[in-house]
Amino acid sequence: MGTIDARGKSCPQPVIMTKSQVEAGERDITVLLDSAVSASNVRRYLETNGYRVQIIDDEGSITITATGATERPSPVVSPALSVAERDADPARGAEVPPEAQVATSPASARPACNALLITKSTIGDDSLLGEVLMKSMLGTLGQVEPLPCVVALMNEGVKLALNHTSSLDHLLALERGGVRILVCGTCTNHFGITADIGAGVISNMFEITEALLSADKILSL
């Protein structure tokens, strides 16, 4: 069993420490934490990787126990692109022209993934006009195609996800449309608004960075 003492560690260290145990093949992991936000991030990371997770919160001293990681299925190889099959029967591989092989490749068939990084709650220097413009932009995002795959909110941008904001409904609509809304937990803690976030998931720097780097294009505001 791998035990990780992530108490006192700032974002995204608890997730990174947990990731190292997962990548090492550890099936039974215990994580000690003292932050509810970090606990949420670690729990989500473990569950995403197939672990069964239990959390015990003893007056702020949090213990996460993760067990029995399930095996993830191996990637399916398209018959048209199978090297082993072409080697065994060259004539069969010759029947598939190169352009057809590219067209059936899972990577080429993947829809474009565009990410939006928002670090402000308004657009521009005029706060009143800027709030209107930001609300309009978020509403427009839900009407265009393709939708962004990720909207990451950091710094002042996390305030857009507050329950009372005029932009909340647009963020919720994007979320219902399949857009991942990642809200920086370090930022919500800094502003003291974590409990008032009404859209997306409280995230961490590791998850946000990974999501942005996985995107085809990144638009920053």
Structure confidence by residue, pLDDT tens digits, 93-128: 445 455 555 444 454 456 788 999 999 999 988 989
pLDDT of residue 180: 94
Residue 74 lies in a domain: no
Residue 145 lies in a domain: yes
Residue 58 lies in a domain: yes
Average pLDDT over residues 173-195: 93
What pLDDT, in 10s, does the model give residues 126-142? 989 999 999 999 999 88
CB-count burial class (<10 Å; 0-12, 13-18, 19+) for 85: middle
Residue 55 lies in a domain: yes
What pLDDT, in 10s, does the model give residues 45-96? 888 889 999 999 888 899 999 987 555 444 444 444 344 444 555 554 445 4
- Residue 17 structural domain: 2-67
H-helix or E-strand containing 180? strand 180-184
Query: How many independent structural domains does the chain possess?
Result: 2
Same domain? For 154 and 212 the reply is: yes
CATH code (residue 46): 3.30.110.40
pTM of the predicted protein model: 0.66
pLDDT of residue 93: 47
Residue 38 lies in a domain: yes
The one-letter amino acid code at 162 reads: L
For residue 188, name the pLDDT band (cuts at 50, 70, 90): very high
**Is 29 in a helix, a strand, or coil?**
strand
Same domain? For 140 and 212 the reply is: yes
Same domain? For 60 and 116 the reply is: no
Residue 80 lies in a domain: no
Residue 150's beta-bridge partner residues? 115, 180
Same domain? For 54 and 122 the reply is: no
Note whether 182 and 201 are within 8 A (CB). Answer: yes
Same domain? For 45 and 121 the reply is: no
DSSP 156-171: GGGGGGBTT-TTHHHH
Same domain? For 63 and 114 the reply is: no
Burial of 17-48, coded b for 16+ CB within 10 Å and e otherwise, reads bbbebbeeebeebbbebebbbbbbbbbbbbee
CATH code (residue 136): 3.40.1260.10
Note whether 91 and 188 are within 8 A (CB). Answer: no
Same domain? For 50 and 118 the reply is: no
